[in-house]
Structure 1
């Protein structure tokens, strides 16, 4: 891989780290960048898991206090995350590249809609605080499992899906939901990376270069994130994700 490609991946990682701190959705940018650097679609998907892992690790540390306050059912949620993520990653390896190519456009549609509708869903749910979530907790666990299954296969957009589920089936704050999201996705990602590495899918040099950039970007942006209008960043990511989805239909359909 050329020095130019590595510098592009590092710069993309820096921007991805900034985006994740401000609004989330960095995977929409890193995925095509990895493909542009010469990775196959399956290698780019696997590399994305490595590159964006620090965001969840740092998020878990930041929300350590909130995590202690949502310990009820935490072990069960961690088990669900591991089982669902492992199943999704094994499915990813088993189905192979041809099936993944056919799935990419629809996976991007699903991820884009989740990202676009996330704030609207959250606002609507906050206006219906009389919902008795305790009666439907089992459904929450089922939906969480399906999200981790999807996440182990592709991953884009799963964070906002989990936030929506936690908003529906609990009265926890967004900070508590973020604490759960970060630790469960982080744990799932560790297992998925192990599975992809065993399958020979991870190209470590570009993955680690982009990961380094994401750490630098996330650390630097953490200090100035409150001064940046996250709403405008979200709009930019959404426009990019729509364009990427349209392109994927043209390329893979």
Structure 2
């Protein structure tokens, strides 16, 4: 692919990912395939995509400062530690995964993330319907497991985190969102650091996409007030299914 076409594809995919993440999530369905289509190997594409979309997590976390400040400091420290450990473990798992194995797993990961995204609202409502008291003890190992998944492959992470907190008894949605954004940011940062140390990030593409993803995030915040969420969700789901099918064919 020639440089101009690659630039246009990567910048538009990153911008679109920033918009989607600001409104409904699912930006990975654009950034990861775009990198692969421009010739970046799947493992490097996954690591580079993680860096490209990571700036948006910081803004989301800052938006819930009040909710985080109201939580016990010991709880926040524990959450950050578990997310960090899981994020690093997932990133290291990706780095030691043979490229051929990861390439064969990618279609299933994309499909799994798409299904999670499609049924996320139903899962959250189901999880929020119970008291969750009997499952509270699963919060720590559950967070660690989800963080490992997030460090390995970012798609569907937010939905998994929200479902975890709701199942384990947290009924305050603003608090659920605050913890989801905090842990997404933390594990994203540590996994990106691990990817950088492991030499898995393609920096030129990563920095280009990070800029456009940030711009897309600002645009998405405005667009969120105009476009119905169900329309955006439908676009993400169709995109996810299409990308899953394409990667199944490629594999």
What is aligned with 1:109?
111
Q: Provide the C-alpha distance between the structure 1 equivalents of 2:6 and 2:58, rounded to a whole number of angstroms.
A: 26
Alignment partner, residue 207 of structure 2: 208
* 2:136 alignment partner in structure 1: 137
Q: Which residue in 2 is equivalent to 1:83?
A: 85
Cα gap change, 1:170 to 1:80, in 2 (>3 Å): same
Counterpart CA distance in 2 for 1:24 and 1:157 is 8
Deviation of 1:132 after TM superposition, in Å, equals: 4.4
Does the 8 Å contact 1:43/1:203 carry over to 2?
Answer: yes
Matched residue, 1:183: 182
Q: For 2:193 and 2:236, how far apart are their aligned partners in 1?
A: 29
Give the secondary structure class of the aligned counterpart of 1:227: coil
Deviation of 1:221 after TM superposition, in Å, equals 2.4
Matched, 1:196 2:173: no
Structure-to-structure mapping, 1:38-49, within 5 angstroms: 38-49=39-50
Aligned residue for 2:8? Answer: 7
Task: Please say if 1:154 is aligned against 2:153.
Answer: yes
CA apart distance, 1:220: 2.4
Is the Cα contact below 8 Å between 1:147 and 1:158 reproduced in 2? yes
Per mean C-alpha deviation after superposition, the further-off stretch among 48-57 and 9-18 is: 9-18
Q: Unaligned 5+ residue runs, structure 2?
A: none
The alpha carbon displacement at 1:191 in A equals 1.2
After the TM superposition, which of the residue ranges 100-109 and 154-163 deviates more from structure 2? 100-109
| Aligned twin of 2:55 | 54
User: Within 2, Cα distance between the matches of 1:95 and 1:11?
Assistant: 29
RMSD of aligned alpha carbons: 1.6
Tell me the TM-score normalised to structure 1 length. 0.92
Whether the 8 Å CA contact 2:132–2:167 is kept in 1: the answer is no
* Residue 123 (structure 1) shift: 2.1
Equivalent residues of 1:18, 1:218 under 8 A apart = yes
- Deviation, 1:203, is 0.8
**TM-score computed with the length of structure 2 as normaliser:** 0.93
Please give the alpha-carbon distance, in whole angstroms, between the structure 1 residues aligned to 2:138 and 2:224.
35
Q: How many residues align?
A: 249
Check whether the contact 1:81–1:148 (CA below 8 A) recurs between aligned residues: yes
